[in-house]
Structures are given as structure tokens and as C-alpha cells.
A = this chain, B = another copy of it.
Amino acid sequence: MNMKAFSELVGLSPYTLRYYEKMGLLNKVQRNTSGHRDYTNKDVDWINFVIRLKDTGMPLSNILDYAKLRALGSCTVEERQDLLEQHKENLKAHIELQLNHLKALEEKIFLYKQKKVS
């Protein structure tokens, strides 16, 4: 799969994909005979997981930590699991907080509806 197809499939611009690769988030991407990138289905799965981590607020530097452990192979499975567990807890806390914010926002809107806000 070439750059364009991969880019459209995963929803990241070619600029961003090269940037991710340069910083080490996307390793050993295959090249065809003329030096152009040739992405695989495994790359699709991996980048989608990266996007999920990013969309749940994990900074790229932390995702990179995970990626480096992954590149080291199965001896890092436990450490990676710990990172994900930790991230899961952070995410749960984030969702709780956002639910509180939502409640407060609804109360504020209620005040507007009661014309109690100038």
C-alpha cells in the first residue's frame, strides 16, 4: 500500500506519517524497488492503535515509550501491559471528570433557561 492509500485509510496526512516515522513511532516501514514506502496491514493496525492512544490524551512521547518496548519484542510484554493498565486508569479518571463537567455545564445552561444569567 502506497503513501496516499495508507494516508487516506488511517486519516493522517503524509506529513504526519513521515513525522511519526522520523520520531520512531513507525518502525521498519518497507520500501519498494524505487524507494517509496510500502505499508502493510500490520502497519494499519499499529497506527490505528497509536491513534487511539493519542486520541485518549497520551502524548506522543509516551506512545513512543510503548513503541520502543514493543520493538524490543516479547520480553517487554509485562511492562507494556502495565503501561496500558495505567493509561486505562487515567482514561477512566478523565471520563469521570468530563462527566462532572457535563453536569456543571447542564446546570449552567439551566440557569440561562431560567433567565437567571445576565
Contact = CB atoms under 8 A, between A and B. Distances in A.
A31 interface: no
A109 B91 contact: no
B87 A105 contact: yes
A46 interface: no
Contacts of A102: 56, 88, 91-92, 95
A52 B95 contact: no
Nearest to A118: B74
A80 to B, nearest CB: 7
A118 B56 contact: no
Nearest to A117: B77
Contacts of A55: 97, 101
